[in-house]
Structure 1
């Protein structure tokens, strides 16, 4: 009987110790961030206005950059921005090369198996841009044609779902895909609608030669990406975003980068940063 009691006590002690170890491990990333005095955000740096290089200052700026800066301020550390490719986003996070992804990242069920997500930070839809002279009026007419997009995003899967016979060619950056459309290397260019509008604006008078097809390929909730099982860091991130929402600062940040005085000319937000559910 005593032997059984002794074994039970030992088992309980080991269980408590293991639980304490796991809890401590969960807090490690936030603790490490505070100890090193900086938090590294993985950003694209090529996706205006979410994150891009300011041509005057050569600094990375944008909508997601401002959200990241607010998170760093909440933790009390310096924000560091590391440019990464679309296809490298999740591997860079999982391998610990960045602490948080602020990289135009779609939150979907498939990715939930790999990483955790913050509250939704943006909602957009994916569409297709074509040359006005192409005669293509909507998405079904892309059947059998070559379509261009960035590698590693959700764009390829979404356009294949909409048009199974489409021929998809991918590029390392969205700019390369857009340039390929201008060079006549494909019939269409797939991206988030906000990015397509921004790309059109960059063309100046030549934008009349292009059009965005009316049909949405998908609705894309974007969020910040975090490594799995880091509840302490996720709480700080979510609390920061919720605080921006409650204070009205979220609206100010959105209008700064997407509002009526920008190239995108959105009148208002169609979403709130209040849930991490999709």
Structure 2
């Protein structure tokens, strides 16, 4: 049975008007059809996933979401579907989806058990490892070198807990700092306000590649964890998730995701034509062959 037939037969407890956020358990596809609008949440500086270039939201995650929007247009027979964009941060992105301010969050968000209590996720489109960025002349190679040092991470990210746990286990006496977004966290290392910036490795490579002096920074340290990135959507809307997962699986098996990966990770990208030169991880390669939304928490 087609997804559109499933959601048309489902009864929901809230009434949604045009222009009103979807704030309770509801049918997202019906809401999109009724309002003829879809809202995509995006980030400002999560390069190369979701960031602003010349004032426009772009990135690997945005490209994937735009293809999902094309599939929604086709499914709902709405070729003129309006797409709105909502800028979010790591601190308010979950709230934006949970409260119905956006239909999809297309950034660099990790799918984990804690977040699944509030929202849902599609099949992951990337797997990152948590490492750290330091100044090349700092003499820091691994986590034990951080004893009594200042370490920054971005507020609202999963890395905050990882650092607290590592500090307890190793007794490093870390002085933990938080930046409001990834760019601010990077700037704190650049300005000698922090000794290291711990975050998902791909974000660190992106910030480094687009800095004015990339050779002054290196990404080091054993991986603290593996982070599966996925598109975020509202919880308790199985028909919408089924539709999105089906489209994600199709893009993976037909090679669309591979082409987008090559575009954003193996070629120069705006705004500075930086090239991450980042090979695809074995985890992502396997997930492209056998698409699944199951992740290890």
- TM-score band by shorter chain is 0.7 to 0.9
1:169 aligns with 2:168: no
Contact preservation (8 Å) 1:102, 1:225: yes
The size of the alignment, in residue pairs, is 257
Match of 1:244 in 2: 251
Greater C-alpha Rg: 1
1:50 aligns with 2:67: no
* Structure 1 residues 179 and 20: CA distance shift in structure 2, 3 A: closer
Aligned with 1:199: secondary structure? helix
Match of 1:7 in 2: none
Shift in Å at residue 158 of structure 1? 1.3
Match of 1:135 in 2: 139
Q: Scaled by the length of structure 1, what TM-score is found?
A: 0.86
Q: 1:71-125: per-residue Cα shift (whole Å, max 9, x none)?
A: 1111103332211011101111111111111121101111111111111111011
Aligned with 1:266: secondary structure? coil
Match of 1:63 among 60, 67, 92: 60
1:150 aligns with 2:154: yes
Match of 2:211 among 189, 203, 208: 203
1:37 aligns with 2:45: no
Q: 1:1-278 alignment to 2 at 5 Å?
A: 21-22=11-12, 28-55=27-54, 58-76=55-73, 77-164=81-168, 165-204=173-212, 206-261=213-268, 263-268=275-280, 270=282, 271=284, 272-273=287-288, 274-278=291-295
Aligned with 1:130: secondary structure? strand
Shift in Å at residue 134 of structure 1? 1.8
Contact preservation (8 Å) 2:27, 2:240: no
Provide the rounded CA distance (Å) in 2 between the counterparts of 1:277 and 1:95: 25
Contact preservation (8 Å) 1:26, 1:232: no
Aligned with 2:141: secondary structure? coil
Unaligned runs of 5+ in 1: 1-18
Provide the rounded CA distance (Å) in 2 between the counterparts of 1:74 and 1:145: 49
Provide the rounded CA distance (Å) in 1 between the counterparts of 2:243 and 2:202: 28
Aligned with 2:148: secondary structure? coil
Q: 1:126-152: per-residue Cα shift (whole Å, max 9, x none)?
A: 111111222222111212221111100
Q: 1:36-60: per-residue Cα shift (whole Å, max 9, x none)?
A: 12211111131111011113xx211
Aligned with 1:104: secondary structure? coil
Contact preservation (8 Å) 1:44, 1:103: yes
* Structure 1 residues 188 and 20: CA distance shift in structure 2, 3 A: closer
Contact preservation (8 Å) 1:120, 1:221: yes
Match of 1:9 in 2: none
Shift in Å at residue 200 of structure 1? 1.7
Greater helix proportion: 1
Provide the rounded CA distance (Å) in 2 between the counterparts of 1:115 and 1:259: 31
Task: Name the Cα RMSD after superposition.
Answer: 2.1
Contact preservation (8 Å) 1:48, 1:195: yes
Provide the rounded CA distance (Å) in 1 between the counterparts of 2:93 and 2:61: 15
Q: Scaled by the length of structure 2, what TM-score is found?
A: 0.81
